Structure 1
Amino acid sequence: MAHVAAAGIAAAGLGLLGTVWVAAVTGDEADGRIAAPEFAVACRPAAAPSPAFSRPIPPGAAIDVRSGQLVRGVVEAAASKGFVLAVRRFTVPVYEASRDTPRRNVRLTAPWAPRRVLRSVPIPSSARPDPGSDGHLSIVDRETGCEYDFWQARRGPRGGWSASWGTRAALGAGVLAGGLSARASGFSLQAGLITPAELRRGEIDHALVFHYPYTRAGGFVPPATQSDGRSRRPDALPEGARLQLDPALDLDELELEPYERTIARALQRYGMLLGDTGGAVAVFASHPQGYGENAYAGLLPDEDFAPLGGIPLDRLRVLRLPRLRH
């Protein structure tokens, strides 16, 4: 993910940034410790999961006129770079906080960040960011109804935390205002993640998020609210594009692993939304380190990236793209 928040955040001003509760750094916060109890501001819970992720694609959904050309770009990228499920790298570890989880102030270090601290974040002692260069980390605080998302999170030697960017949103929000998200497209980090429980029961009831090498420069389409797209290729996809696996495809005719079949069914019913620029075509599993055990044992290959080569990408279609936004 390239940093894209600068313009959106600067334009948003402090009023919009009130949703992430930031403040200037002071000396006694250098290691993130909070000397006295701080008020844990509650998030307004989302009334329902974001329809961008929870609503099935209706029968007869319109297909984009350029779908064939755009899908050929996806097939080409997968042939050279792979189509995978990111499990242990370049995905998102999710940790659960409790009432007793210590709260810390997290320094925000990106040069474009208008404020320097995200305050009173409940960070479990076991929390670690993803080892990839994006360093994503997400924390669930059900006590307050908040999700805390971080890009390039780092734990210091004294236990303090910093990140290039961090934000706080209501659980289930799915899509954040432009400039606030820790993901390039404006989606929350937990939106679209595949969990061990879903693979175990063989059903995913939401859209997936994927990253892709050829993300279009110059704009995005809803439900995305921002973009790090940089490709000028004619087959580049704008962030926010929804791709669907042909619902007429008979999965019983394919030699799919059980996890591939579960993912393929979700792609037929909900599709996948382009959420980020990445080196391969990849969807995301919640990182197993967030569970404190090998939660995917018996569900996925014991690899950083589980192959999805059995799913025929040439049977994807791009649903009608909304007007490009900037």
Structure 2
Amino acid sequence: MAAADYIYAAGAGRRTDVSVANTSLHGGAARVTLWFYANTGSATRLKVEAVQATTVLASSIVAQSSGFGWRSVSSPMLQGLNEIGLQDLRLRFTTLDGGNSNVRAAYVQAVFDPCAPEYGKFGPGQWPSACWRPYGTTSPFNRKLPSNPRLIHGSQAASAAIVGRVIGDISQRDHPNNLASHPRGIFGEPTYYPDAGDPMYTLRCDPPPGWGPCSIEGHQVRIPAAAAPEGGWGAAPADDRHMAIIDQTSGWEYNLWQVRGTGPLPPNGGTLTFTFGGRSRIVGDCAGLAADGTNCETTTPGHGTAAHFAGLAGRVRAEELQAGRIDHALNITINCDSGQAVYPARHAGRSCSEIPLSNLDAPPMGALFQLGMSVAEIDALDPQKVKPWHKVFLRAMAEYGMYLGDTGSEGLFSIETEAGNQYLTVGHADPWRTYGQANWEPWTHDGITEYVGKFFAPRDPDPDLWWKNNIWSHLRVLDPCVAAMTC
């Protein structure tokens, strides 16, 4: 806004949005504070909001009879904005009660936090670093939990009942599923970052009868010709065989389920067939909302995951473990759900009644679990039983939580991670293998050595008991309003 310009309301309920100039963050993020110079008359209040798409990230009220002065607006939602989010940011001024208010100047202060390589330049050898997070700061996967969150249904008993079912009859084991690295990188779900030199493929959905149309049918995307799905091309056809493709030019993330074929892909492009899939915004806006890590198609129910989460939502990357910090919620799989879905999920998975078990007190798809321990309590856990790599996960469970995104885990839960084959197929070393060798236990079978990360104490007489009593007993289930920011 030029120094000679100003905004005068001249009426109650008048609203003006002010956009900000585009600023390059070179792949990093910014800690943002909004500043404005304004006054209010004796019968007027001024509401000031930071808005991205249709989402209010922060707000403040200037009281009646406030003289001219510099004032600021900030919130946790303005910390860590990526470049797209910053460019989409607007200052909204609304008069309340009366119209006597002047806004004479406004600007955005963005403190740059470097994060290289920058989005748009990801690819083989230029992997996203640990500080990069997909989606916007308003995404439930990217928000830290409040200090005293509301429990599901506002009830300790309701939370305890769901946790009791998960720890009890729903799970077939008394510990989470192991993490593992394999020489062929076949564990986890791969993500690919194509560039303009990669071949173009036409996407073909082949869903079972009654599934309805697929939102990405016929779309054309570039994919590295060496790409392989989850489990590799040798995975059984009935396996999940996920694949995520990030189109950095358009800002769309394509998520495919049950990629077909025995591989490799046709080297010069062609058709890629899969059972079902969908796309989500990884940056920018979709359906009037900032990218939040869910499928945002408004007319066609395409999806690549049971909950309709985006593939990268809550998925742990090797670069994060190497850095010793996971700055987002986790995406987990549990054996079955209640047959219902809550925000941020849009669809349920396998209900417990299908296995068959009771749906009573089973977690709904999208349930938000939190480890109710402080970071200090986690850091003080017995180092003989809880290793440094464990604490990286436990801190994320406490600070950001875990969203139920799929069903079918035999353990208490399994944690969604990226795959080693996304590196190996394009000619690079697998960082999961390196991390596993340094932090996990070797396990050799059939002439193959894997490295396994176990969430239990294997050398104890009862390997699961200590973890169950000292860690998993602190799990709780939060109300969906916490994820939706409505309570």
Q: 2:146 aligns with which of 58, 61, 67?
A: 58
Q: Secondary structure at the match of 2:364?
A: strand
Q: What letter is aligned with 2:416?
A: F
- Opposite residue 306 of structure 1, the aligned amino acid is G
- Does the 8 A contact of 2:199 with 2:223 survive in 1? yes
Distance 1:162 1:104 in 2: 10
Partner of 2:213: 114
Which amino acid in the other structure matches residue 318 of structure 1? V
1:73 corresponds to 2:161: no
Amino acid at match of 2:201: R
Counterpart code for 1:315: H
Alignment size in residue pairs: 277
**Structure 2 CA distance for aligned equivalents of residues 67 and 251 of structure 1:** 25
Change (3 A) 1:98 1:278: same
Name the CA distance, whole Å, in 1 between partners of 2:314 and 2:242.
14
Counterpart amino acid of residue 260 in structure 2: R
Q: 1:90 and 1:151 mapped to 2: Cα distance? A: 15
The match for 1:146 among 240, 252, 259 is 252
* Inter-CA distance 90–291: structure 2 relative to 1 (3 Å threshold): closer
1:282 aligned to which of 397, 414, 428: 414
Query: How big is the shift at 1:263?
Result: 0.4
After TM superposition, give the deviation of residue 234 of structure 1 in Å: 2.1
Q: What residue is the counterpart of 2:70 in the other structure?
A: none
Structure number with higher relative contact order (C-alpha < 8 Å, ≥ 6 residues apart): 1
SS in 2 for 1:222: coil
Which amino acid is the alignment partner of residue 227 of structure 1? A
State the alpha-carbon separation in 2 of the partners of residues 50 and 146 from structure 1. Answer: 18
Report the CA distance shift for 1:71/1:135 in structure 2 as closer, same or farther (over 3 A).
same
Contact 1:156 1:162 in 2 (8 A): no
Which 4+ stretches in 1 moved above 6 angstroms? none
Aligned with 2:401 (options 249, 252, 271)? 271
Residue 318 (structure 1) shift: 0.7
CA distance in 1, matches of 2:248, 2:144: 26
Cα distance, 1:122 vs structure 2:
1.1
Q: 1:47 to 1:251 in 2, by over 3 A?
A: closer
Which of 93, 105, 124 pairs up with 2:202? 105
| Residues 1:180 and 1:50: Cα distance change in structure 2 (over 3 Å) | farther
| Equivalences for residues 57-206 of structure 1 within 5 A | 57-64=145-152, 65=155, 66-76=158-168, 77-78=170-171, 80=173, 82-87=175-180, 91-111=188-208, 112-114=211-213, 117-131=217-231, 133-155=239-261, 159=266, 160-172=271-283, 173=291, 174-177=293-296, 179-206=301-328
**1:238 aligned to 331, 349, 364, which one?**
364
SS of the residue aligned with 2:432? Answer: coil
Tell me how far 1:152 sits from its aligned partner. 0.3
Deviates more, 1:81-90 or 1:131-140: 81-90
Preserved CA contact (<8 Å) 1:84 1:309: no
Partner of 2:47: none
Q: Please state how far the C-alpha of 1:233 moved relative to its aligned partner.
A: 3.1
Residue matched to 1:261? 391
What is the distance in 1 between the residues matched to 2:174 and 2:221?
37
Matched, 1:319 2:478: yes
Question: Once the 2 structures are TM-superposed, how far is the Cα of residue 142 of structure 1 from its aligned partner?
Answer: 1.3
Summarize the Cα distance change of 1:151–1:50 in structure 2 as closer, same or farther, 3 Å threshold.
farther
Output one character per residue of 1:120-160: Cα deviation in whole Å (capped at 9) or x when no partner.
12111121111261111001121222211100012466734
Q: Are the structure 2 counterparts of residues 118 and 304 from structure 1 closer, same or farther at C-alpha, using a change threshold of 3 Å?
A: farther
Unmatched 5+ stretches in structure 2: 1-133, 284-290, 353-357, 443-449, 458-466, 483-487
Percent sequence identity over matched residues?
Answer: 26
Q: 1:85 to 1:195 in 2, by over 3 A?
A: farther
CA distance in 1, matches of 2:213, 2:475: 41
**8 A contact 1:165–1:182 mirrored in 2:** yes
Q: TM-score, normalised by structure 2?
A: 0.53
CA distance in 2, matches of 1:119, 1:139: 12
Q: Which runs of 5+ in 1 are unaligned?
A: 1-45
Q: Check the 8 A contact 1:56/1:269 in 2, yes or no.
A: yes
State the superposition RMSD in angstroms. 2.6
User: Distance between the aligned counterparts of 1:47 and 1:287, measured in 2?
Assistant: 20
Q: CA deviation at 1:282?
A: 0.2
Counterparts of 1:78 and 1:227, CA distance in 2:
18
